[in-house]
Amino acid sequence: MKNCVLHKTVVFVLLLFTLSLSAQIPAGYYDPAIGRTGADLQVALYNIIKNHTAVSYTPGVWNAFYTTDVKPNGYVWDMYSDVPGGTPPYEYVLGSGQCGTSGQEGDCYSREHAFCQSYFAGASPMYTDLNHLFPVDQFVNNAGHSNNPFGRTSAPAYTSLNGSKRGPCDFPGYTGTVFEPIDEYKGDFARAYFYMATRYQDLIAGWENNIAEADVILNGTSYPAYENWFLNLLLNWNTNDPVSTKETDRNNAVYAIQGNRNPYIDHPEYVEDVWTPGSIKAEPSNHITDLVSLAGDPSSSQITLTWTDATGAVLPDGYLIKGSAVSYNDITHPVDGVAVADGGLNKNRIYGTETYTFTNLSASTTYYFKVFSYTNSGVEIDYKTDPVIQAATLATTVGTSVLQPGEIAFIGYGTDDPDKFAFVLLTDVAENTQITFTDNGWMGSVLRIGEQTGTWTAPTGGLPKGTVIVIQGTTITGGGTMSNGLTGLSTSGDQILAFQGTSGSPAFVAGISTTGWIDTGVPTSNESYLPAELTLFSSALSFTSETDNGYYVGPLTLGNSIAKAFINHPANWLSYNAIQTFPSWTFVIGTQTIVNVNASAERITPATGETITVQDNSQLTVTGTGVSK
């Protein structure tokens, strides 16, 4: 028995490890900055980081992204599409996803000047400075950021799939169009802007009139360089989104390439030392008012808090929301000088942001929240904890599961009478969750009509991942109920599509075609386009020639992240024209994949900690990225 790993991944990890060791902060690098503050400190930092080695735009910047902006899973780290802690709507493969042109999100990634190149008239060395160049989705870059300043908007005209927004600014001091990235990356961009004002301290005063949008944020000086409203925005973003491991690793990788560093990542305290020296504020005068808790969407897992900003002589820099699923008394008050980081039911919000939605909450659970105003940050943070703290409570409702494509997979079908099909759950499914199945084909924008549609409902208590459901008419094996059977499957070719929502607005989660998906022409009752949400070998399956009956015969012990790659590969299926009895599948979905029968996969991308074991006398063939034995 041999344990197989992805050699490509191992080499990549070792490469990153080597780079991180060789690109740490050199001893004494920041010694000239010791004891300095304000403009004096900015000049000292400029002298430390100036005269970096400039790379070429092509291929230098593209090549740099292989070490500066790669996720742990090997994909491009795109801050305009990433969903920290969740599943991004799409991910790019380094190199092969480069632009190009784009007509929609997910087409390709480009080289984004976070500090717009138009602001400095496209001059060098700013044009290829990796400390403000990031790989991002080109469509979001064009539709959202473009030449617009960064800012905050509550009435977006455009919102990207990960929640980045373009709209009128509601941050005090400016009302024009701005682009707002998601909270988790605001600090990254703020520190890139502080870097630009420092690295180009000798040039930035001359950029104000290069374009109207530059005049919005620049004030024509080398210090403080930025307009007051914009500087306040950057300071807020810097405080509320602290330096992450991602930024530190990126800073090391950039240093290894161009020989200078972003000092505001290495020393976050330099931000205040440069731009607000000695400005420690008193405790906020007042708390927020009008705190309300509202049911989110879905109400089983989300609660939204809204409030009205605090007023008074000393305004807060931000708010700390603390929550509990036990009681108000379970919420301890924060302590001055000890900043509470985001995590669990703790969340920091900047002043001027009057809402926050908690997600991934437990169904049928009562939650309690308190909101504390504060000024300053770090060891100077000053919380207001008296006299009466604003509080709110709300209970989530009984939950259902909102499934993503590939979270169920078809494992069997039979078009000879009696018609039947089977699927396996690749995630836990809450009670009352509904999945609709139809043999109406997808026409590209709507479902055909005239064939059959039935809705499966999960039983009380829900079902765990690995559960197999067999449906024959309205007879169910494995759990749940079926409103109407699919009893008209054609022996001349057919498809079954699984979705949530309505037939008029379906959210597809899986698909199987017994004869192959079409990509031209008008579908007949035996044909269908593959819905855009679904992907072959991942959330959809098809066969090159029509066979009346088939079922999955591949490995049954499968890792969470790669189970769908095995199940949705037709080489792991047996097909017959004679009526067949489905096998008694016993799936184990977890962190290990055991290949004990010959199996194939188009692409294997194990998550951290997952293993693939290929037993003796078994063969695993991977036609994309993966392992082969």
- The pLDDT value recorded for residue 1 is 32
User: Percent of the chain scored above 70 by pLDDT?
Assistant: 95
- The pLDDT value recorded for residue 626 is 64
- The pLDDT value recorded for residue 12 is 31
- The pLDDT value recorded for residue 6 is 29
pLDDT digit string (tens) for 286-345?
Answer: 999 999 999 988 788 899 999 999 988 778 888 999 999 999 999 999 999 999 999 999
State the CATH architecture for 289-395.
Sandwich (2.60)
- The pLDDT value recorded for residue 358 is 96
Residue 356: count other Cβ atoms within 10 Å of its Cβ: 18
- Please, what is the average pLDDT of the chain? 91
pLDDT digit string (tens) for 372-422?
Answer: 999 888 888 999 999 999 999 999 987 778 899 999 999 999 999 999 999
Pairing of strands 592-595, 611-614: parallel
Please give the full DSSP string across 391-407, using - where no structure is assigned: EEEEE-------PPTTS
- The pLDDT value recorded for residue 364 is 82
Can you say whether residue 80 is alpha, beta or left, with left for phi > 0 and alpha for psi between -120 and 50 degrees?
alpha
499 within 8 A of 433, measured Cβ to Cβ: no
Q: In whole angstroms, what is the distance from residue 336 CA to residue 320 CA?
A: 12
Q: What φ, ψ does residue 438 adopt, rounded to 5°?
A: -145, 150
- The pLDDT value recorded for residue 353 is 80
Q: Where are the domains of the chain?
A: 35-275, 289-395, 408-622
pLDDT digit string (tens) for 491-527?
Answer: 999 999 999 999 999 999 999 999 999 999 999 999 9
Ranges in the chain, pLDDT < 50? 1-22, 628-629
User: Percent of the chain scored above 90 by pLDDT?
Assistant: 82
Handedness of CA 42, 45, 49, 50 (dihedral sign): positive
Residue 544: count other Cβ atoms within 10 Å of its Cβ: 8
